[in-house]
């Protein structure tokens, strides 16, 4: 996810059943060239394990250089070939790479030659199943350690059905572990798709934003989860924009329209904390001491 899975949120979801947490998608060229960019984009701690640093890159050198910089502090690196946003396509990163299997294979090989931690790739499906399988097999031949597949093409909207049948075929075709991504909004969804496809695990993005306790079996974000997020954010530090937007996602199902209008215009962390305490009796608390 762009921006949202930084350290306070990663530590939160670990407390609720997440086994592997990813950083936000980080631009490899900015990361390797800017100390300020590195400080802003990747912060970790001894308890942030296992963590996979996800990069967006358009060439092997940028990716391998960035991977080498984080290798001491991460448990894996991931190449994003799935971001469908127009700016990413324009920069020849993300889902642009779904048209460049040989380039992706070369990029992974360069990373594998430079670091001794796992390297994975996150991809989307192509409109044609056979072309999807050909793409995945070329990526597999790079020596990639595992592959995550989002079951929509780069042009499909998130409201369209996720193609779990193609993900099943991919799992049956390759020998490396395969994770499935897309439309995971409950633990039942996760169990269902693993059972039906034989995949080795699932990755959730939007589902965890709305309910960080998803993998612990909660249907909605529990109050203590929000309180823990407040505690983590104050303990580790976060910026107001990300702090505010995480809470907008978590509280979406419990706020009415009037409440949302009032909450969404808050512009400071103290103001947000005051609002949550006054209206919901929610304060920063560490529930996992």
Say which of 81, 83, 119, 225 is annotated catalytic: 83
Structure tokens at 95: 């889902």
Cβ neighbors of 50 (< 8 A, separation 6 or more) are: 19, 20, 21, 75, 76
Rg of the chain, C-alpha, whole Å = 19
Do residues 184 and 159 make contact, with C-beta atoms less than 8 angstroms apart?
no
What is the separation of C-alpha 147 from the centre of its chain, rounded to a whole number of angstroms? 14
Is 54 annotated in some ligand binding site? yes
Closest-CA residue to 25 (of 59, 60, 53, 61): 53
Is 261 annotated in some ligand binding site? no
225 is catalytic: no
Cβ neighbors of 80 (< 8 A, separation 6 or more) are: 25, 54, 55, 56, 93, 94, 122
CA distance 112 to 102: 15
Structure tokens at 269: 């962390």
Is 122 annotated in some ligand binding site? yes
Is 150 annotated in some ligand binding site? yes
* Chain position carrying tokens 């499906």: 125
CA distance 100 to 104: 6
Is 76 annotated in some ligand binding site? no
* Chain position carrying tokens 């086994």: 19
Q: Which residues are annotated as a binding site?
A: 54, 122, 150, 205-206
Active site residues: 83
Q: Which residues are annotated as a binding site for FMN?
A: 54, 122, 150, 205-206
């Amino acid at each position: 996810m762009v921006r949202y899975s930084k350290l306070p949120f990663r530590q939160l979801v670990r407390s609720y059943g997440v086994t592997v947490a990813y950083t936000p998608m980080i631009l490899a060229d900015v990361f390797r060239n800017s100390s300020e960019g590195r400080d802003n984009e990747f912060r970790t701690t001894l308890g942030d394990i296992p963590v996979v640093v996800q990069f967006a890159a358009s060439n092997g050198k940028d990716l391998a250089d960035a991977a080498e910089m984080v290798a001491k502090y991460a448990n894996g690196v991931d190449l994003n070939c799935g971001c469908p946003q127009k700016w990413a396509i324009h920069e020849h990163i993300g889902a642009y790479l779904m048209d460049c299997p040989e380039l992706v294979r070369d990029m992974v090989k360069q990373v594998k030659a430079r670091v001794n931690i796992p390297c994975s790739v996150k991809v989307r499906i192509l409109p044609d199943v056979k072309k999807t399988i050909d793409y995945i097999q070329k990526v597999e031949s790079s020596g990639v350690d595992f592959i995550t597949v989002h079951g929509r093409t780069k042009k499909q909207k998130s409201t369209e059905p996720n193609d779990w049948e193609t993900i099943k075929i991919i799992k049956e075709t390759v020998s490396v572990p395969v994770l499935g991504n897309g439309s995971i909004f409950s633990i039942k969804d996760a169990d269902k798709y693993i059972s039906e496809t034989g995949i080795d695990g699932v990755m959730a993005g939007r589902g965890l934003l709305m309910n960080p306790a998803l993998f612990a079996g909660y249907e909605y974000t529990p109050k203590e989860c929000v309180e823990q997020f407040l505690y983590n954010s104050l303990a580790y530090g976060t910026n107001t924009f990300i702090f505010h937007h995480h809470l907008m996602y978590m509280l979406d199902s419990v706020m009415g329209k009037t409440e949302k209008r009032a909450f969404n215009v808050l512009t400071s962390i103290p103001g947000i904390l005051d609002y949550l305490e006054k209206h919901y009796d929610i304060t920063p608390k560490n529930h996992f001491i």
